[in-house]
Structure 1
């Protein structure tokens, strides 16, 4: 019987960030925000997190997660 090997990306986030990237996958954006993929898609669906279509794919501009956090911080300070 052959066992399946589960591969998990354990690269530290600081090493995993490629500064040449312009667009992130939804999974990469979720990882940067430390949220789940489903939550990230929800933020995209409501327009809280900017994204762009690339063919049939959905991509997040590399600066969008930081802009989202900035908006959260500004809203939190105003409340």
Structure 2
């Protein structure tokens, strides 16, 4: 008797691309702190520090605080510009 291997247990072949994160919904416009941290590949504590320091703005939605998805791209652009300006000044 043969048994089939469940798809969840199979290992995909290396394709040179990052694996898809199944629980990441790229259509969300307002993220939890944890979702925002996951998108930047940083820890939750680091994300809270960035929020506390004003680097990442949040918005209130009812009793919740959310991170607008667009501010993550803006934050990365600011980081890239600061790195580029640092190299020019050196």
Relative to the length of structure 2, the TM-score reads 0.66
Superposed CA RMSD: 1.8
**What does residue 4 of structure 2 align with?**
none
Q: 1:33 to 1:19 in 2, by over 3 A?
A: closer
Please give the secondary structure, in 1, of the residue aligned with 2:57: coil
2-side partners of 1:21 and 1:35: how far apart?
Answer: 19
Gap runs ≥5 in structure 1: 1-10
Aligned length: 68
Higher relative contact order (CA 8 A, sep 6+): 1
Choose from 63, 66, 73 the match for 1:59. Answer: 66
Q: Which runs of 4+ in 1 moved over 3 A?
A: none
In the alignment, is residue 12 of structure 1 matched against residue 20 of structure 2?
Answer: yes
Gap runs ≥5 in structure 2: 1-18
